[in-house]
């Protein structure tokens, strides 16, 4: 265990966290695998589960190492957007404006209608999620529209991230939502409208890990009848196994 | 052995000797000359090093022999300032599965476990999973920003970070998609491609708790967002309790700086939890009250279950093991004595026991765990085996310190269906044929 004087924050949190997590997992086992618990309720539970923070402020700034960034420095990087819309910037974009940006910047991979091209992600789908390995597109899977804004803003276009203006990101977000028939053609995306969108799969997640969900025992002898041992699938002759993908490392050959 | 019985061949450009009777200087004589030369300037090795002369064969051409490298002067210490593996192991490399991804920039390259002798994965062979290519980060301008629900936000350079108290820990990192291709059946006939999204290293860095004591934590602080400096700006939400328990901000890996493939100059290490949380090229840590539900949190690294709901936030990597010798890439040479070898690991702690079956899971015997047995680290296991040359179905089964027993693929499918991508920790079956070839199979 940690010594309290040296690691006050970690100690209190770690101990409290382990206890609380253990209790909540035990209490939740009865309804595993968690079906039907509304996501908002789970989110509340997630926050309540999290242990109280007990801070000994004597450690703050103790080493004096590093610098304290100002608001401008923090603002330059702090872009993660959460479901409540915090950190969404000013600007706005329409479905029509988004279509223009999308056709130019996105359709090459994602398809003009968001159908996905050459294995790149499909963006639009109303497929049910009960099939075998269902396609996870925005309309049928993503729980928050804010996640869409955040991802486009931080990572897209694939080859040129951080090249779109906030209003362009709003516009593309509006267009992708419209492709999924989640917003009307005259929808305007901005920092107020995006957090209010209720996505179809918002409650489709199990946020508490229901594992272990297998409960084998380490049987040692006669664990199954020998004649029950049968090969159900083999990779022998598999044509999808790469043999020599390379190039082999030249290792500085002269 | 005297010089007469074992003539050295340092050669001398000034003296012509008939083949087979080179000038005999001997080690003592060479040392004496070198000592003199060192006083006068550089020892001219270029004049001494040349192709081995045809010598009277002291042994046959086949091993045991006296080959060329035993009869010549090798290169000096300065020709490879950064050492290289032997050119004879040039095929021990990371490899991708080209059809798995649309691009090489958002893709994965697998560790060659079939050639890993111990628990530590060589830095050049450690699997790499990137989301927007591998950035070329200059540590002089890279910064780590810690902010959000803290009392005192902090901006740190690499040099700043390296002033804090440091720790070294040995842990594995495994992508939760390790084995993804095998959920629907035995597809890839390879250890490297079925299990190679894992590596184990000694990591050196600063405990996250040390940094958060320096910044302080607000009353509502419960979660932490980690963000990378790559084009994906990869971001993941983590519960603060885990961060304060055992996470570190790492700058060292196996005796050197992180490789660019592993996040140079900084990465987050989240021991025992899914690999994508170990954010590479780490540049920002934000403390908050709730998860951010980034795409990687709630879309990518989630698992739709047969009922239609998807599991998310299932971060822990459960116990798993695999026999690394023999394997499809390393067949047997014929009946006889062997040592079965493998690797086991658990994200929940130490490996307690590994059992091996030779008959497809009917009977099992305990393998020997090889020290060190460390929590959340690869653990080596071995078992002597006299192979009679008959068909065999080899399996290994790990049990960790929580008592969790590694399941079969059938048991996993009963609970999760055959649609999943992640968290395949099933027992692997290697089919050994009488000719010594080894194939990946799945049992009913």
Distance CA B252, CA B258 (A): 5
> Chain A neighbours among B 278-297 (CB < 8 Å)?
283-284, 286, 288-295
What is the value of ipTM here, to two decimals? 0.85
**Within an 8 Å CB–CB cutoff, is residue B261 touching chain A?**
no
Q: What is the mean pLDDT of residues B347-352?
A: 98
Render pLDDT for B272-313 as a digit per residue (tens, 0 to 9).
999 999 999 999 999 999 999 999 999 999 998 988 899 999
Chain centroid, CA B254 distance in Å: 10
The third-level CATH classification (topology) of the domain covering B320-441 is Immunoglobulin-like (2.60.40)
CB atoms within 10 A of CB A91: 15
Residue B359, pLDDT score: 98
Three-state SS at A129: coil
Residue among B39, B9, B49 nearest B27 (CA) = B9
Lowest mean pLDDT among A26-40, B162-176, B186-200, B233-247: A26-40
For residue B179, is pLDDT > 50?
yes
In CATH, A79-196 is 1.10.3720.10: no
DSSP B348: T
Distance CA B351, CA B403 (A): 9
Three-state SS at B197: coil
Length of chain B counted residue by residue: 444
> Chain A neighbours among B 58-97 (CB < 8 Å)?
80, 84-85, 87, 90-91, 93, 95-97
Return the domain boundaries, chain B: 1-84, 95-311, 320-441
**Within an 8 Å CB–CB cutoff, is residue B218 touching chain A?**
yes
Phi, psi of B361, deg, nearest 5: 95, 10
Q: Which residues contact B313 (CB under 8 A, 6 or more apart)?
A: A207, A208, A209, B291, B297
Q: Which residues contact B49 (CB under 8 A, 6 or more apart)?
A: B72, B73, B74, B75
Distance CA A46, CA A43 (A): 5
pLDDT digit of tens for each residue in chain A (254 aa)? 222 233 334 333 333 333 333 333 333 333 333 344 555 566 555 654 555 555 567 889 999 999 999 999 999 887 899 999 999 999 999 999 999 999 999 999 999 999 999 889 999 988 887 776 778 899 999 999 999 999 999 999 999 999 999 999 999 999 999 999 999 999 999 999 999 999 999 999 999 999 999 999 999 999 999 999 999 999 998 889 987 655 555 554 43
User: Quick check: B102 and A118 CB within 8 A?
Assistant: yes
The third-level CATH classification (topology) of the domain covering B95-311 is Sulfite Oxidase; Chain A, domain 2 (3.90.420)
pLDDT band at B14; cut points 50, 70, 90 = very low
Residue B419, pLDDT score: 84
Contacts of A226 in chain B (CB under 8 A): 359, 362
Q: What is the mean pLDDT of residues B369-395?
A: 98
pLDDT band at B28; cut points 50, 70, 90 = very low
Residues of chain B with pLDDT > 70: what percent? 86
For residue B25, is pLDDT > 70?
no
By Cβ distance, the residue of B286, B309, B328 closest to A34 is B309
Higher pLDDT, residue B229 or A43: B229
What are the CA-CA distances from residue B218 to residues A4, A43, A53 (Å)?
19, 20, 7
Distance CA A110, CA A175 (A): 13
Q: Token pair for residue A130?
A: 């009960």
Residues of chain B with pLDDT > 90: what percent? 81
Distance CA B395, CA B220 (A): 48
Distance CA B382, CA B404 (A): 20
CA angle at residue B175 from B169 to B176, to 5 degrees?
Answer: 120
By Cβ distance, the residue of A68, A82, A133 closest to B153 is A68
Residue B62, pLDDT score: 77
Residue A245, pLDDT score: 56
CB atoms within 10 A of CB B46: 10
Q: What is the DSSP string of B229-282?
A: SSTT--EEEEEHHHHHHH-EEEEEETTEEPPGGGTTT-EEE-TTB-GGGS-BSE
Q: What is the DSSP string of B91-149?
A: T---EE-GGG-S-SSSEEEE--GGG--SSSPPGGGS-EEESS------TTT--EEEEES
Q: What is the pTM of this model?
A: 0.86
Distance CA A88, CA A193 (A): 11
Distance CA B176, CA A186 (A): 41
Residue among B166, B104, B143, B126 nearest B229 (CA) = B143
What are the CA-CA distances from residue B14 to residues B11, B44, B75, B76, B385 (Å)?
9, 13, 21, 22, 59
User: Quick check: B231 and A155 CB within 8 A?
Assistant: yes
Lowest mean pLDDT among A177-191, A199-213, B15-29, B41-55: B15-29
By Cβ distance, the residue of B156, B405, B442 closest to A233 is B442
> Chain B neighbours among A 217-236 (CB < 8 Å)?
217-226, 228-236
Contacts of B216 in chain A (CB under 8 A): 9, 55, 57, 59-61
The chain B residue lying nearest A20, using CA atoms, is: B241
Residue among A198, A173, A203 nearest A83 (CA) = A198
């Amino acid at each position: 265990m940690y010594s309290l004087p040296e690691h006050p924050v970690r100690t209190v949190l770690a101990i409290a966290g382990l206890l609380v997590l253990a209790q909540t997992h035990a209490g939740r086992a009865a309804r595993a695998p968690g079906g039907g618990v509304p996501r908002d309720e789970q989110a509340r539970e997630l926050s309540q589960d999290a242990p109280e923070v007990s801070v000994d402020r004597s450690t703050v700034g103790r080493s004096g190492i590093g610098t304290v960034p100002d608001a401008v420095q923090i603002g330059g990087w702090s872009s993660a957007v959460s479901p409540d819309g915090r950190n969404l910037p000013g600007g706005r974009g329409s479905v029509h404006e988004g279509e223009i940006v999308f056709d130019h910047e996105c359709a090459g991979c994602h398809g003009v209608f968001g159908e996905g091209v050459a294995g790149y992600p499909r963006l639009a789908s109303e497929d049910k999620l009960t099939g075998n390995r269902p396609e996870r597109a925005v309309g049928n899977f993503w729980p928050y529209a804010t996640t869409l804004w955040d991802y486009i803003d931080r990572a897209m276009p694939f080859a040129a991230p951080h090249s779109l203006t906030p209003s362009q990101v709003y516009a593309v977000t509006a267009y992708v939502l419209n492709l999924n028939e989640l917003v009307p053609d005259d929808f305007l995306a901005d920092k107020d409208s995006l957090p209010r969108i209720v996505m179809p799969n918002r409650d489709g997640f199990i946020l508490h890990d229901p594992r272990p969900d297998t409960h084998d025992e380490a049987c040692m002898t006669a664990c199954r009848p020998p004649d029950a041992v049968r090969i159900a699938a083999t990779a022998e002759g598999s044509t999808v196994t790469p043999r020599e993908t390379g190039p082999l490392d030249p290792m500085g050959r002269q | 052995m005297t010089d007469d019985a074992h003539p050295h061949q340092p050669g001398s450009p000034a003296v012509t000797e008939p083949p087979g009777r080179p000038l005999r200087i001997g080690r003592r004589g060479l040392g004496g000359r070198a000592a003199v030369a060192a006083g006068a300037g550089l020892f001219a090795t270029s004049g001494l090093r040349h192709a081995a002369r045809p010598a009277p064969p002291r042994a046959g051409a086949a091993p045991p022999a006296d080959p060329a490298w035993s009869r010549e002067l090798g290169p000096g210490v300065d020709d490879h300032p950064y050492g290289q593996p032997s050119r004879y192991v040039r095929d021990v490399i990371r490899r991708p599965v080209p059809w798995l991804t649309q691009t090489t920039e958002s893709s994965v390259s697998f560790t060659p476990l079939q050639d890993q002798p111990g628990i530590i994965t060589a830095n050049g062979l450690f699997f790499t999973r990137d989301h927007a290519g591998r950035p070329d980060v200059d540590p002089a301008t890279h910064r780590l920003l810690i902010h959000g629900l803290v009392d005192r936000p902090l901006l740190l350079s690499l040099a700043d970070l390296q002033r804090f108290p440091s720790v070294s820990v040995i842990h594995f990192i495994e992508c939760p998609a390790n084995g993804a291709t095998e959920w629907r059946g035995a597809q890839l006939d390879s250890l490297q491609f079925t299990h190679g999204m894992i590596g184990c290293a000694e990591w050196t860095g600063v405990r996250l708790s040390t940094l958060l004591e320096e910044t302080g934590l607000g009353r509502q602080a419960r979660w932490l967002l980690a963000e990378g400096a790559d084009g994906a700006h990869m971001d993941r939400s983590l519960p603060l309790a885990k961060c304060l328990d055992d996470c570190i901000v790492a700058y060292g890996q196996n005796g050197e700086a992180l490789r660019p493939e592993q996040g140079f100059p900084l990465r987050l290490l989240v021991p025992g939890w899914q690999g994508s949380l170990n954010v590479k090229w780490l540049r920002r840590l934000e403390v908050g009250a709730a998860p951010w539900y980034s795409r990687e949190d709630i879309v990518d690294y989630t698992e739709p279950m047969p009922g239609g709901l998807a599991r998310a936030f299932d971060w822990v990597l459960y116990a798993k093991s695999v026999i690394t010798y023999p394997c499809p890439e390393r067949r047997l040479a014929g009946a006889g004595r062997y040592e079965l070898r493998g690797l086991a690991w658990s994200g929940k702690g130490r490996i307690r026991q590994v059992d091996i079956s030779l008959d497809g899971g009917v009977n099992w015997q305990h393998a020997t765990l090889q020290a060190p047995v460390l929590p959340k680290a690869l653990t080596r296991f071995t078992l002597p085996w006299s192979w009679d040359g008959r068909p065999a179905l080899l399996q290994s089964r790990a049990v960790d310190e929580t008592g969790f027993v590694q399941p079969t693929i059938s048991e996993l499918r009963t609970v999760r269906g055959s649609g999943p991508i992640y968290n395949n920790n099933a027992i692997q079956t290697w089919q050994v044929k009488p000719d010594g070839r080894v194939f990946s199979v799945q049992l009913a």
